Every structure is written in structure tokens, then in C-alpha cells.
Amino acid sequence: MPFADYKTALVTGASTGMGAAIAERLAKRGLTVHALARNEDRLTELADRTGAVPHVLDLTDTAALASALGPLEVDVLVNCAGVSRPGNILDSTEEDLDEIIDVNLRALLQLTRLTLPGMAQRDLGHIVNISSIAGLYNFYGHTAYHATKAAVHQISRQLRNDTVGKRIRVTEICPGRVETEIFGRNLGGSPEAMEEAWQTYYEGYESLTTDDIVNALDYAIETPRHVNIGMIEITPTFQVPGGLTFDRR
């Protein structure tokens, strides 16, 4: 079983939502999990609960990433960290654009650059990138977020070319709406914002849960060594991606 091939995992965005759930599952699978996020309290709680090794880091600080990773041999890299913003390019700020690009794209590339050569040298590894249907379909939302997730989709494909001939697998998990805190954080992150987001985006909907994402990741890693699950698009049954809007003037 491939899980038995791997010893060490690195999960970004591990303090909450999908990242925390993924870190917990990988720890249960017997891997030593290095959990990266900015929220020290939540990382500490995750470490106490799962035995994960916490790293309180800003993913956009490449020098800090390189220093923290050092000689660490990463067998499974899960790029899960991501940020979003409400609105679109018409009302974006300079800070909005920079943070979305820095976290969703630049940090993913830099972390992959730091860990993939070791996988190639050992001829063993698995990279899992969490993207979004926003990278594949056009719908109302933040333009920069769509752009970065589209880039993650293409990076996931390209990494297979970069490592051809090596026993390195790359999986993109491309979810629709998942019950996480992302919408609440977009609204400010207060308890009132979290409640408003829940009522607006989740109440009455049959959304995906973090368990659904974790089970997809588990399946991709557990497949035989000669099998690469390249992409899993997973949406709620009642959510239809894409569509056509024609605004009559």
C-alpha cells in the first residue's frame, strides 16, 4: 500500500478547515505530519490532538520556509493553504491582489521548489494540490482568486512533465463549495461574520464537508504505486459549475 511507502507529510493551511482535517487523517495513517499555518493557538491544538509537528509560519516568507524545512525529507506535500476576497477586480485593493497571489500561487510554487528535488532524488513522493472549480469555470467572484486557482490546475499538470520517469505522483483535488470558514473570513472573521456566512452560504444547502475532501485525498494516495490520480473534481450534487449569464442592457 502506498501509505506504507511514505513516512513524512507536509500540510499547509493546517490550522483549520480542509488543512486541519487532512493533517489529522495523514497522522492517523501513520505519517509524521508537519503542519504549517499562521495561527499558533490552532496549530498547538492540532498538535495536541494528532501528534503533528507544528510550524507557525507565514507561507509568503520564503526564507523562513527554507529555514524551517532544512533537511526535512517530505514524502507527501499537500498544498492546501489559500485565501480569497469578496468582490472582483473592480473593487480590489493592492493588498487584496498581492495576498491572493502570494499565498495561493507564489507560496505553492516556492514550497514545491523546496521539496520536489528531494522526492526526485529518492524516486518517491506525492504532491496534492487543492485547487477549486473557480479555476476551471467562470462565475461571479474574485478575478485574482480564479486566476490563481487556474494556475494551480496548470502547475499540477506541469509537475508530471517535470518529473517524468520518477515515481512521483501529482494529484489535483478540485472542490466546489465546502463547509469551511473561508466565507466568514471574507466577511471579517468575527463571530457575527461567521454566523452571517453560515446562514448565507451553507444553511439549507447540501455542501461538501471536509470529510469529503479528506476521503478523496485518501483514495488518491492509497491507489497502487503504478497509478496516478491526476485530478478529482468534487462538487455537491446540487451545485452545477459553469453556466451562462446574459445581462440585457
* Mean pLDDT of the region 39-57: 96
pLDDT digits (tens, 9 = 90+) for 89-122: 998 999 999 999 999 999 999 999 999 999 999 9
Asked if the model's pLDDT at residue 197 lies above 80, the reply is no
List of residues 6+ apart from 241 with CB closer than 8 A: 133, 136, 137, 139, 176, 235
pLDDT digits (tens, 9 = 90+) for 128-185: 999 999 999 988 878 999 999 999 999 999 999 999 999 999 999 999 999 887 777 7
CA separation for the pair 41, 54 (Å, rounded): 10
Task: Supply the pLDDT for residue 71.
Answer: 85
Task: Supply the pLDDT for residue 189.
Answer: 73
Asked if the model's pLDDT at residue 76 lies above 80, the reply is yes
Decide if 202 is catalytic. Answer: no
Task: Supply the pLDDT for residue 204.
Answer: 85
CA separation for the pair 114, 23 (Å, rounded): 20
* 96 secondary structure, DSSP code: H
Asked if the model's pLDDT at residue 188 lies above 80, the reply is no
Q: What is the strand order of the sheet 168-175 is part of?
A: 53-56, 32-37, 8-12, 76-79, 125-130, 168-175, 231-234
Question: Which candidate in 145, 202, 205, 219 is catalytic?
Answer: 145
* Mean pLDDT of the region 10-30: 96
Asked if the model's pLDDT at residue 217 lies above 70, the reply is yes
Task: Supply the pLDDT for residue 2.
Answer: 85
CA separation for the pair 16, 49 (Å, rounded): 13
Phi, psi of 172 (to 5 degrees): -105, 125
Residue 128, CA atoms < 13 Å, CB-side half-sphere: 32
Over pLDDT 70: what percentage of the chain?
99
Q: What is the mean pLDDT of the chain?
A: 92
**Closest C-alpha among 65, 96, 59 to residue 81:** 59
Domains of the chain: 2-234 (3.40.50.720)
Task: Supply the pLDDT for residue 1.
Answer: 61
